[in-house]
Amino acid sequence: MNFLAHIYLSFDDKEITLGNFFADHIRGNKYKHFPERIQKGILLHREIDTYTDSHPIPKQSSKRLHKNYSHYSRVIVDIFYDHFLAKNWSDYSEVPLEDYVENFYDLLEDNYNLLPLGTKRMMPYMITDNWLLNYANLAGIGRVLNGMNRRTQNRSKMNFAILDLEEHYADFEAEFTAFFEELITFSKQKFISLCEE
């Protein structure tokens, strides 16, 4: 899953949200110096990724893209799924997406000193271009895919994946909806068990 899903699946716990958000910038066991609940957020992120990678529904979404994008197809599916979460946000939260996202950006700024270097570098772009809010529209997703393609020196051709999203929109949305219900249940159980440790 991509940024918005990881934030959402932290269940409004601020420290767990931070760890769950920036976990991709932490390698191996290099997280032990963080406060305990941030560590739990990093572990929750890894559990979510493992569950997602092994689940048949995201695999099905990824398979539709594999011919054109090879191993990048899973990354693309993560971005597509964040689009559907943002687009259908009111189904999952009573807080409007715009307010939710602003609160998250405030959380990052309030805890800037705790953030890993990779997150600090990314943060100004994320906030200035308001990635999380713009996931809700196709133009925003197109910009994300363009940026990802540039980062691969145009090798991934991910910028073209917006066409696949448009062509198979209903299929991807149905897969997201079915999978995300299961992922919420899984993540809540993991959240509770980590918090009890």
pLDDT at 30: 87
CA separation for the pair 105, 126 (Å, rounded)? 9
Where b means 16+ CB within 10 Å and e means fewer, 164-192 reads bbeeeeeebbebbeebbeebeebbeebbe
Q: What is the mean pLDDT of residues 162-186?
A: 98
Provide the domain limits for residue 100: 3-196
Residue 62: pLDDT over 80: yes
Question: What's the whole-model pTM score?
Answer: 0.95
Compute φ and ψ for 108, nearest 5 degrees: -60, -45
Q: Match 């760890």 to its residue by tokens.
A: 19
CA separation for the pair 33, 29 (Å, rounded)? 10
Residue 88: pLDDT over 80: yes
Residue 177: pLDDT over 90: yes
- Average pLDDT in the chain: 95
Residue 117: pLDDT over 90: yes
pLDDT bin (cut points 50, 70, 90) of residue 102 is very high
How many structural domains does the chain have? 1
